[in-house]
């Protein structure tokens, strides 16, 4: 092969690669439409309570773009912080940006240890009462890209503490109170949960009147990863009726928490650790990005 021909071959190869990459992105865009199930119902005023519910599939102009659904969901779930998105970046209102996909293929353990935003959004959270016992490593919400949460809620214990507020917990049923972040209006969302739990019949209240902790800056037991409790966005309910995979490492799924309670938390943007293969049925955390539709 002559020197000139070699260059021509390389050139054609690059053109083919670019073309096949574009096709792949387009196909992904179409299949992602099927996942478009959830809608954020109320988002009219800055501090109105946001409700989340199952909804029908909607299509929009934005679907035609190559912006990943995960990025669209993040933008929709954190409107106070995210200014805009493009095919692979999220731009914060403070002028900083975050890459969505680092382009690396990872095993599940690598995703847990060293995720990007794409890994964090890679598993779909099954909203509502009809969920199946989670498959191996099906842990939607358990993969967290820490820099994102640090950006929103604070990057150290003292910074997170600045935003913590105390709210009365189920005031019609107990004299308890809990601390939670006021960033992103999580306190208002949790108060809405508390008001609904307060209306439950007596036999269901025992699961939630006694709580087992909200803010605690710490790593998850046996790991270097920060717990969601570090950011003041999580709450553990009564451990007397809870099950946790670390207490029985055979990973045999168990749950005693009634799903009426789970549905209330989900309605206000909290996901439940009981829908994880690594189940943690006392645990709820505010993760609206896993409960909204991308459009």
Q: Report in angstroms how near the CB of residue 234 gets to Zn ion at its nearest.
A: 5
Query: From the CB of 284, what's the least distance to Zn ion, in Å?
Result: 8
Instruction: Based on the shown chain and the rule CB under 5 A, indicate whether residue 283 belongs to the binding site for Zn ion.
Output: yes
**What are the φ/ψ torsions at residue 99 (nearest 5 degrees)?**
-80, 140
What count of residues does the chain have? 295
Interface residue with Zn ion among 236, 243, 266, 289 (CB under 5 A) is 236
Of 121 and 234, CB closest to Zn ion: 234
Distances (CA, A) of 248 to 69, 140, 231, 243: 36, 20, 27, 9
- Please choose, out of 153-161, 165-173, 236-244, 249-257, the segment that lies near Zn ion by the rule CB under 5 A: 236-244
CB of 268 to Zn ion, least distance (A): 17
Q: 75 vs 283, which CB is nearer to Zn ion?
A: 283
* Neighbouring-strand partners of residue 270: 286
Residue 176, token pair as written in the block: 């308890």
Quickly tell me which residue has 């709580």 as its tokens. Answer: 211
What whole-number distance in Å separates Cα of residue 160 and Cα of residue 162?
Answer: 5
Closest CA to 209 of 174, 258, 260, 259: 174
- Window 132-151: residues binding Zn ion (CB under 5 A): none
* DSSP-assigned letter for residue 202: H
- Single out the segment in contact with Zn ion by CB under 5 A; choices: 83-91, 121-129, 179-187, 283-291: 283-291
Of 23-31, 118-126, 192-200, 229-237, the segment contacting Zn ion by CB under 5 A is: 229-237
**To the nearest whole angstrom, how small is the minimum distance from the Cβ of residue 285 to Zn ion?**
7
**What are residue 98's DSSP bridge partners?**
90
Q: Which residue is nearest to Zn ion (CB)?
A: 283
Q: Which residues bind Zn ion (CB under 5 A)?
A: 234, 236, 283
């Amino acid at each position: 092969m002559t020197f000139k021909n070699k260059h021509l071959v390389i050139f054609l190869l690059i053109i083919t690669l670019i073309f096949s990459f574009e096709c792949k992105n387009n196909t992904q865009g179409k299949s992602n439409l099927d996942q478009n199930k959830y809608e954020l119902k109320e988002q009219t005023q800055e501090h109105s309570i946001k409700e989340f519910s199952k909804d029908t599939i909607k299509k929009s102009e934005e679907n035609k773009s190559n912006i990943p659904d995960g990025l669209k969901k993040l933008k929709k779930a954190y409107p106070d912080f995210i200014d805009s998105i493009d095919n692979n970046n999220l731009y914060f209102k403070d002028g900083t940006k975050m890459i969505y996909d680092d382009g690396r293929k990872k095993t599940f353990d690598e995703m847990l240890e060293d995720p990007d935003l794409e890994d964090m959004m890679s598993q779909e959270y099954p909203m509502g009462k009809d969920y199946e016992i989670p498959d191996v490593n099906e842990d939607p919400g358990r993969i967290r890209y820490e820099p994102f949460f640090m950006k929103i809620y604070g990057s150290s214990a003292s910074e997170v503490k600045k935003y913590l507020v105390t709210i009365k917990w189920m005031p019609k049923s107990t004299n308890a109170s809990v601390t939670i972040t006021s960033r992103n209006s999580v306190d208002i969302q949790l108060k809405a949960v508390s008001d609904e739990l307060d209306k439950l019949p007596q036999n269901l209240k025992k699961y939630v009147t006694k709580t087992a902790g909200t803010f605690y800056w710490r790593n998850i037991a046996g790991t270097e990863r920060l717990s969601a409790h570090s950011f003041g966005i999580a709450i553990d309910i009564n451990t007397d009726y809870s099950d946790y995979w670390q207490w029985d490492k055979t990973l045999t799924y168990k749950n005693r928490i009634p799903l009426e309670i789970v549905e209330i938390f989900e309605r206000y943007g909290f996901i439940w650790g009981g829908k994880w293969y690594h189940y943690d049925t006392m645990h709820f955390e505010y993760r609206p990005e896993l409960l909204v539709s991308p459009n």
